[in-house]
Every structure is written in C-alpha cells, then in structure tokens.
Amino acid sequence: MKTKRFEDVIVWQKSHVLVLEIYRMTKLFPQDERFGLISQMRRCAISVPANIAEGYRKRGIKDKLRFYNIAQGSLDELRYYLILSKDLGYVKDVSKYFNLQDEVTRLLSGYMKGII
C-alpha cells in the first residue's frame, strides 16, 4: 500500500507512541535529572520518528536509508538509557519500554529492507 504522508507509516506511528511513553516515564524521574538523563532520553526518543519523517520525503534510496539508520542508532541509544534508568532505580521494570523499542526496531528494519 502506497502511503501519502509519513504519519501513515506504521513504524512512524509506533515510534511516536514510544516517544509519548518515554515522556510519561521521565516525568517521574528526580528533578536533578532534568538537564541530564531526562533530556537525553527524550532527545533520542524524539530523534526516531523525526528521522523517519525526514527520510520519508527524501527521493534517493541512499538519503532515505541514511535517516533511517540514524533512527536505528537513536533506538539503541535509548535502550542504553533505559538500562541506566533501571540500574539507577528510577524505573523498576523497563520490559514494557524494551518491548516497544524492540517492536520499533523490527518494524524499521523491515521498512528499510522494503525500500532497497
């Protein structure tokens, strides 16, 4: 099925849900992390759907893949921050976030394979 807007792409939709979940989770973090871990987690989470959106409009396959690869890197960076958040005791259970992050990672890999 041909999409008309980046918002129609399932991986973008799921990555947007991931951003919303990260925002909800980090609201509960200590205030002294506002400019540290909270900022970093939100930044890299936002990077995923933002790069999918930017890559969507690019015409060349190499350009598209470059943006999608940046999104992949941001997903891995977010995974580390989730591990750190758990180890610091800010979140008891990160499995919900890991599952969503894993789903976005799988969808993005499939989407990338589909445009090659």
Q: What is the reported pTM?
A: 0.94
Q: Are 64 and 115 in contact (CB under 8 A)?
A: yes
Fold entry, domain 6-115:
de novo design (two linked rop proteins) (1.20.1440)
Domain boundaries, the chain: 6-115
Q: pLDDT digit string (tens) for 78-107?
A: 999 999 999 999 999 999 999 999 999 999
* d(C-alpha 18, C-alpha 12), whole Å: 10
**Spans of the chain below 70 pLDDT:** 1
The predicted pLDDT at position 2 comes to 80
- Render 12-61 in DSSP notation, one character per residue: HHHHHHHHHHHHHHHTTS-GGGTTTHHHHHHHHHHHHHHHHHHHHH-SSH
Q: Are 34 and 28 in contact (CB under 8 A)?
A: no
3, two tokens: 């999409």
